[in-house]
Structure 1
Amino acid sequence: MAAVLTTEIADGVAVVTMNRPEARNALNTELRRAIPTRLRELDADPAVRVMILTGADPAFCAGLDLKELGSSGLSADPDATPLPFGSLTKPLVGAINGAAVTGGFELALGCDFLIASERATFADTHARVGVMPGWGLTVLLPQAIGIRRARQMSFTGNYVDASTALAWGLVNEVVPHDRLVSRACELAADMVTVPEAGLGAIKGAYRAAAAGVDDGALDAERRYSREWMRRFDPDTLAANREAIQRRGSAQV
């Protein structure tokens, strides 16, 4: 059985690939546990200077595995499998190869910056799914594109294409699909040439500068998410799942 997460390390750069292409890299329990574990391992590995997170085509990540969530009651509590992005000391670049939706969108937002394929799309469908963000979307999305555009994405659940994401400042570059990982690796190679202590210090300084505002807002999001999930109804989600998928397919 193929691993749900693969890693390739070369010249100080680790490319981490979510590998459930048949499920559009949806976050089942195994993948949700594997991502934070692997990123922490790489962050502690002296052979790694920069990390890149991407997905096996055709999607970056479709978010929580709605089939598992609706049938088995997978915990959507953000504390169940906390993501370590805020504690990483090394740069994490998102290489967005396709759709990044809801929880998958949050994974992308947790990266230091994003390079997008021309095929990349982004959507926040938390409200339509019937779950609440708990990995920082309500803080990180407004930082990236402004509060009004963030509200538009969250309130409608509509998809944003790569060119719009670039115009809005959500992604740094849009490149041809077959150049995505190589372009991310080029930028990672540039970072590898920066003295390690300086690179870690500047990343830490960015984190510290935002902490005064971010930490309280992130705590509030997690509290709201936990309260919401106490009322979570798997049957309601299962009833909505097909409509959500049909709507998404029509927009992508």
Structure 2
Amino acid sequence: MTQICFFTSSMMTTEFNEDGSEYPVLIKDDNQFLTNLKQHWPQNAKVLIISSRPDTYDTNDLYMNMYRESMEMSELSISEMNVYDHRHDYDIHEFDVLILSGGHVPTQNIFFKEINLKDKIHDFDGLIISLSAGSMNAADTVYSLPEERGEAEDPNYERYFEGLGLYDKRIFPHFQYFNGMKLDGLDMVRDIALKDSHNEDIYAIDDGVYFLKQDGKLYLYGKAIHMKGGEMTEVGADNEITKM
């Protein structure tokens, strides 16, 4: 297998109970996501999840178990699944599938640099699936959207830094939730992302929309909002494929 990358907002492996807790579900096939994933998934895959918060062991294990249950429920065969955090130092080349998890972008970026992931991942021969923060950190230049209280108004908060260099897009994930939301009194879209798009263009995507990189070519599955120069333009459409 040559390297194939799914850059997603969410892999859609979980849903929420009324009390806010998550539980595993069958992976949705929005924009043929599960169909395409099955096409490239190796039999009896060895899967490594690379954490976004390498010290939150209980949370990391919780999500690893939910991911595995969801994947097996979705008929993706797994022989082994592990999570890469500060408890373990794995050789990524011993695995078939890498999952770059979601979470806090700057924290994950520091961990990726700590384990020298950028140098290791480019000759990884297998399937890479990135989720949310993982997709943001997979870019050449990372756009780190403020997401925690105090970051939006902090003049020292860094919005741009070096990523893994797997593709040249910057994404704003979970757009359906953040559109209209405020952080530190600022509108997440109009006061933060659109303003930042004067520096670097950004692709806002809902859960179920993703980029697929194969044979050196990048495709958008579904509809994205392209933010550039303070303006928003629709790119692609639901259930359509757009070459980027």
Same fold per superposition (TM over 0.5) = no
The structure that is strand-richer by fraction is 2
TM-score (norm 2): 0.32
TM-score, with length taken from structure 1: 0.31
Question: In proportion to residue count, which structure has more helix?
Answer: 1
